[in-house]
Amino acid sequence: MLIQFLALTKQKSKQITILLIVSLFIISAGISISSGNELRYPDEHDYHALAKNILVGKGFVKENSEPTSFRPPGYPFILSIIYHIYPHPISAKLLNTIAYTITAFLISIIVQKIIPGGQFIAPLLLLAYPIGLYSASTLYPQTLGALLLFSTLLIIYNYDHNVISISLAGILFGILIILIPSFLLIIPIIVFMIFYTQKKRLVINIKYSSFFFLCVLLILSPWTIRNYQIFGKFIPLSTNSGINLLLGNSENTRPNSGVNVDISTYTKEIIQNNEALADKQLTKFAIDWIKNNPKKAASLYFQKVLNYFNFRNELYVQSEESQLKDLLVFITYYPLLLIAVIRIIVHKYYPLNTKETLLYVLYFGNAFLSAIHFTRIRFRIPFDLALITIDAIFLGIIMINILKHPIMKPQNRITYNQ
């Protein structure tokens, strides 16, 4: 019975994938519409206000019309474009829904290229991933970020690289960085992916990596120049890196505290009316604390790495906390993590595909990069989709193996697209 069901599923995988992706869109859109124009978090209010100011021609300014660079520019500019159509948060939330749906499609393509017939597993897992669905109903850039990340990965995973495709990947990743600056730390991993997938001569890989990096710089340059003209300082992205570093590295920081950290003793000393100088001062405070407390800082860092895999966070908006939400995340996230761990354990029997290996590097490598500041579930969302991709590939391997060998034996190793 199981064999017949799996065989039918594999045979109708394209139709099932379409059905699941449509279902994902409907559910995500329903959640976004039900939330309406409600903004639940301070960051959402900031993004919304910046987008409205851009929309009416004031530029990237605070409510008092003072130029700012505290928030990265990508998301407010995209929101302002959407607000030209309908100037209310619901329009941005529906954009997130569309982005999430397209991302599901891209992930299914990646899975299909490795395990033909197994592409339906990805949207199925995404339907069972409530964090992603919920995030799409907020004015946060992570959903659009996931779309840009997987667009980049899909290009890099194409073995027939050329200058145009790599340049496009660089442009997309550059846009991703101006949406979510923390992805700047991921560039070495992406460059490693370019080298690892091509397996060509060193000079060719260096050429492709150079074009990728130059295109990233091309996207970041206009904003950097704007910041220099306004603040007289080199600010590639935003002036919130200092406060984020201090929130993640101070005597009051806890592994899961996020932004709920008392740093008032430091903020009293900064120059409040100059973002660039304040950012520099806060960065110095954080670095000084790390230097003066190396053991505590090291211990805190590794605790933050572990917190990357947490199922709950201490939220700034306490009204959004609930035991039911925590339980839902617990029972949906840890099975995904467990499947990925089992995949590593059985790699001798079912060797890791090149693309799987790179997804592992991306997902678990980000834990160590994120812990430099502080780790949050929200920041992890685009990478959780990489985890889902890993799981979808592995479950597809199991499905195909069962169909080929109804009596599963370790020596019957499956072959699949490298």
Average pLDDT for 23-35: 95
**49-58, 226-235, 385-394: least confidently modelled range:** 226-235
On the question of pLDDT at 78 being above 70, the answer is yes
Residues 6+ apart with CB under 8 A from 181: 72, 236, 237, 238, 241
The answer to whether the Cα torsion of 367, 209, 392, 93 is positive or negative is positive
Whether the predicted model's global pTM rises above the 0.85 cut: yes
Q: What is the pLDDT of residue 408?
A: 46
Region label for 292, one of left (φ > 0), alpha (ψ between -120 and 50) or beta (otherwise): alpha
On the question of pLDDT at 273 being above 80, the answer is no
On the question of pLDDT at 300 being above 90, the answer is yes
On the question of pLDDT at 302 being above 70, the answer is yes
Q: What is the pLDDT of residue 80?
A: 95
pLDDT tens sequence across 333-364: 999 999 999 999 998 888 888 889 999 999 99
3-class state of residue 406 by DSSP? coil
Average pLDDT for 85-94: 94
What's the pLDDT band for 27 if we cut at 50, 70, 90?
very high
Q: What is the pLDDT of residue 108?
A: 95
CB 408 within 8 A of CB 123: no
Half-sphere exposure of 66 (CA within 13 A, CB side): 8
Share of the chain above pLDDT 70, in %: 91
Average pLDDT for 24-33: 95
What's the pLDDT band for 64 if we cut at 50, 70, 90?
confident
What's the pLDDT band for 40 if we cut at 50, 70, 90?
confident
pLDDT tens sequence across 246-257: 999 999 999 888
Structure token pair of residue 359: 């997804």
Mean pLDDT of the chain: 88
C-alpha to C-alpha distance for 156 and 318, rounded to whole angstroms: 41
Q: Give the residue, 198 or 136, on which the prediction is more confident.
A: 136
Residue among 73, 101, 96, 100 nearest 177 (CA): 73
